[in-house]
Every structure is written in C-alpha cells, then in structure tokens.
Structure 1
Amino acid sequence: MLSLILFAAHTALAAPPAPPMPPSPPDMEQRGGGDEGDNLMKHFPEIAERLGLTAEQRTKVETLYYENKLAGIDLKAKAERTRLELQRGMLATTDYDEKAVLKSFEAAASAETEVKRNELKLMLSLRKVLTTEQWAQLKAMREERRGERRERRHGEEGDEHERDDD
C-alpha cells in the first residue's frame, strides 16, 4: 500500500493535475487472502476441536478476537480517512501544498501501521493462550489452508488457459 501511495505522490508531483479519483474500496489489499482473524473465527469450532482447546481457552480466544475486531474497526476507518485525505491533497486540486501532501502521507502510513500492529497484537495474544503444541498445530493448519488456496488458484488459472487455447 505504501508503494502505491509513493508512486501516486511521485506521479502527482511530476505530472499535470488529474481530475479527482473515486475512493478505493475499503480493505482492497485484503481481498486476496482476507483477514487471518476472520478466517480463524469463521472456522473456530472446527479449529478449537482439532487443537483440543479447553473451555477457558475458547472463551479467551473469542474475547480476544472480539476486542481486537472492535479496535480494528476504528483503526481501519482512520486508515481509510487518511488515504482519502492523501488522494484529495494530491489529485483533487490544481494547486497542491507539498508539505501538506507529505504530512497526509505520514498520517496514512502511520494509520496503516496501527492496523497491522493491531493484527499482530491479536496473534501475540493468541500465542499466550495456546500451548506450544497448540500453536505449532495452528501454524501447520494455516500452512495447510494456504496450500489448498494456492492449489485452487492454480487450478482456476489452468482452466482459464485451457479455455484460451480452444
């Protein structure tokens, strides 16, 4: 995301002003794999069973997830606001203030960092709830799911190539 912002900033400063762009859809960068926490909770009953979580561990995980998602809502909204302010500062006006654009960039980068920090805090908190064996098993399950997604993606790409040859 930061590389996209840097590219846009460079382009805006080097090129004639462009008309305003529509805002990007929220969470565009997450469309490929989605939020790890969302996947965890979507499949939580199955995962909890496979990991052998106790009732206390289940409750702690659910509470951590809920609290993290609540904090994430505000953080993601702030990140989206700062991205829009950056776009507006660079692209929506014929006269731009370089210092203001750079300040908007810093705010956007900081907001994105806060979103990622919140996601990392959830993973670190989960590590404290799970035993070493459960954490290793959860990592293995994640890798297994990633492999399955990769296979599905490559299968879909292969299907498209076969259709192109017809």
Structure 2
Amino acid sequence: MRKTYLAVTALRILLVVAFALLLLFQVMSLPGQFAHMAAESPQLAYLQWPLTVFSIVELLCVQAVIVSTWKLLTLVKHDRIFSRASLAWVDVIVWAVVAAWILLFGVFLFVGFNADDPGMPLLLFLFVVAGAVLGLLLVVLRAVLHQAITLRADMDEVI
C-alpha cells in the first residue's frame, strides 16, 4: 500500500507540473509562436488563427485527460477504483482522445492535400495511427474495467 501511495503522490506532482506547462503553452507560447510565424512568413499568415485554435483545443484535450487521471487517482487512493464512478472519468479520457484524434485527422487531411513534400504528411499519418491505437486501447481497457467492476459487485453480493 505504501508503494501505491508513493506512486500516486509522485504522479499527482507530475500531473500538476504537466497541467501548468500546458497552460503556459496555451496562453503564451503557442499564440506567440504562431503570431511570430505569421509576421515572418506573410504567405502563411492565414494559418495563424487555425493553428492557434487547433493547438489550444488539442491541449484542452490533454488537460481533460490530466484532470480525469487525477480523479481516477483519488478513487485509487480511496480503494474505489472498481466502482461506477471510475467509468465516467474513463469516458472523459476516451472522448478527449477521440476529439483530439478527429482534429489531428483533419489537419492530416489538410496538410496531405496541400503538401509538396511527403515528410510532414507521413509524420502526421504516424501520429494519426498512434492516436487511433491509443483510442482503441482505451476502449478495450474501459471494457476490462467494466468487467472488473461487475465482478467486484458480484463478489460484494456473495460476501
């Protein structure tokens, strides 16, 4: 139990740091970077706002995963991870990954149809495939959690 407590505490510290860094990127770094890109390359200036919105929404999806993970860690800490409450937080994670994947797929299509060089579309395709694998893996793990919750409820009835 002590190892679990230490792991949960360490993970929470890292989640706070990650959330703060993502917030910094959302508010300052990425909008500034895309404004600088538009100033340096006027022919790409039309991409400033779409890229800014895309990056902010993608980071919002990651932040939703961080908050949901925090809530799941709370359930682990209180030995309630195998309860119906955990499914709601896992659903938030799944839908955040789905939303991020859909946006990434849209960017992949845009870049794929407008690229002169195959490098960036291939890299984006790799990310699209990795996102699809992650999303499907989460769906399978959600099903496993659902089965574990059902088994735990059955065991509680027996005892």
TM-score bracket, normalised by the shorter chain, equals: 0.3 to 0.5
- The one of the two structures with greater contact order (alpha-carbon pairs below 8 A, sep at least 6) is 1
Which is greater in Rg? 1
Q: TM-score, normalised by structure 2?
A: 0.46
More helix as a share of residues: 2
Q: TM-score, normalised by structure 1?
A: 0.44
